[in-house]
Structure 1
């Protein structure tokens, strides 16, 4: 394996494990996680329940799948795009809640995905 390819692998794995871990810890407590997200958005009248609830139920699985696929290097391009879509949705939600500190870390994830996408040829 060339040095460039190894560097790409080493860049891909941390975000893969982060996304995988986010999903993994939320799935066993899915109903509690979903309820918390719905209550958070409802209490601030940020987004309607009919939008937040399905998203909160799908989010942990999306994170888990994106993370797993990135980790094993399967469908990497699609996984990066999927991860970017997840992050865009999270940024939108955080903006609706006015959680500006959360947006900073989410923007880091977005930039990280963009860099991985740019260098996909090294996968």
Structure 2
């Protein structure tokens, strides 16, 4: 199997996860915002930061997933994915949602391993 094909297949589940999260949340953006604000009321993160983040997150997730699926600017999509996961981990820690932190850490490790694999192999950097 070619390295590029293998790399695509390895990133496919992560791309579908991000694309799916973004797509589902975009279809109910106001409800997602309401849920995020309600969920983070006990957080130290102020609501004036949560609201714009809750609108941006689905768009960013959708974009990262789409770029990865279409093999466009994959390296930047992987870096963006690591940043998004870091922000989500911060938010989950702020409300002590340790189960979500675990899932987000798995995503972050996956993003990081794919980034490492792309940087230290002969895979074309699109």
Mark yes or no: TM-score above 0.5.
yes
Aligned to 2:36: 37
Aligned to 1:4: 3
C-alpha separation between the residues in 2 aligned to 1:45 and 1:85?
20
Q: Give the TM-score of the pair, scaled to structure 1.
A: 0.93
The alpha-carbon distance between structure 1 residues 62 and 4, as it changes in their structure 2 partners (threshold 3 A), is same
Alignment length (residue pairs): 121
Aligned to 2:26: 27
Summarize the alignment of residues 1-123 of structure 1 with structure 2, pairs less than 5 Å apart.
2-42=1-41, 44-120=42-118, 121=121, 122-123=123-124
Structure richer in helix, relative to its length:
1
C-alpha separation between the residues in 1 aligned to 2:71 and 2:86?
22
- Structure 1 residue 98: deviation in Å? 0.2
* Unaligned runs of at least 5 residues, structure 2: none
* Unaligned runs of at least 5 residues, structure 1: none
Secondary structure at the aligned position of 1:119 is classed as helix
Q: Give the TM-score of the pair, scaled to structure 2.
A: 0.91
Cα deviation code 1:20-49 (max 9, x no counterpart): 00000011110010011011111x143210
